[in-house]
Amino acid sequence: MREILVNGLSEMGLSPTGEQIEKLEEYARLLLEQNQVMNLTAITEPEQVARLHFLDSAAILGVEQRGAEGLTTERSENAAGGQAAQSIFAQSEELGPEASTSLRNPTRLSGKTVIDVGTGAGFPGVVLKILEPSLQLTLVDSLGKRVHWLETVCEALSLDGVRCIHARAEELALESGFRDAFDLAVSRAVAAYPLLCELCLPYVKPGGVFIAMKSVESGREVESGESAVKRLGAKALGSWDYAIPGTDVTHRLVMAGKLGPTPKGLPRSWGKIKKSPL
Ligand code: SAM
């Protein structure tokens, strides 16, 4: 597992310390141990956990480490390439001074507030926190048992500055301190894009970004979320396809930037979100 992580992260432009690799190994051990008694993941081989959970989650840091030029190169190397990956940097200028500074800086995630919506067993949030300890991380999930387990994981791995919250995303986003409050919202494998936008974009402050982790087959789904992005006071920033090192799997980061505060009345109840997506 160690070799897979060190080589894979280095391929993604990241240079983890020995301590960070040890924490990832311990996280995998805790995950697979608990998975025997609680449904946390369908992936049960340590090597596959390293690739399909850890390296995949780390892609969000890969995108920041490379910077605009790296992304352009990656995009042209990657035949499946999504829409202009560098647009997160270029277009972020239109989001205002705060976003253009934070997103154009290669270490822009350092010290930022990040919320992982529907984190499950902690993906991508816990991996991001291990690899970028300065993040102020909030993990949200509607399943209490998973959230309680995540609390024990954060303690076991000595991760400071992490809140584990048992809540429904669409309800928590109505509370002050959460609404329009985060630099970055991330989410992986939670809902179709139009629904996911309503769950996640309300957390992002003006100038901040929402990154949805999607499959490369998500083109139509993402297109059908265009109106939701606009209705929530945001703007599509494009997407970036990345290959997970050591696999033939390619996934996609879909990015949207928040232009202003979340309109009143949003997000709606889950019943309404599901019945009539924005
Ligand atoms: N993000 C993790 C990953 O990539 O492995 C977990 C994905 S799992 C398929 C979806 C998770 O989203 C579940 O843990 C579920 O409880 C949570 N979830 C679904 N809808 C939610 C909502 N409205 N609010 C909070 N959590 C939600």
Per-residue pLDDT tens, the chain, 278 aa: give them: 999 999 999 999 999 999 999 999 999 999 999 999 999 999 999 999 999 999 999 999 976 655 433 333 233 333 333 333 333 434 444 555 444 444 433 347 889 999 999 999 999 999 999 999 999 999 999 999 999 999 999 999 999 999 999 999 999 999 999 999 999 999 999 999 999 999 999 999 999 999 999 999 999 999 999 999 999 999 999 999 999 999 999 999 999 999 999 999 999 999 999 999 99
Distance CA 244, CA 256 (A): 22
Tell how far the Cα of 118 is from the centroid of ligand 1, in angstroms: 3
Distance CA 25, CA 31 (A): 10
Q: Which CATH number fits domain 2-275: 3.40.50.80, 3.40.50.150, 1.10.530.10, 3.40.47.10?
A: 3.40.50.150
CB atoms within 10 A of CB 62: 23
Among 121, 122, 125, smallest CA distance to 133 is for 125
pTM of the model: 0.89
Residues flanking ligand 1, CB < 6 Å: 118-121, 123, 140-143, 146, 168-170, 188-190, 199, 270
Ligand 1 mutation pick, 128, 190, 197, 269, max ligand atoms within 8 A of CB: 190
Q: Tell me what pLDDT residue 109 has.
A: 85
Domain boundaries, the chain: 2-275
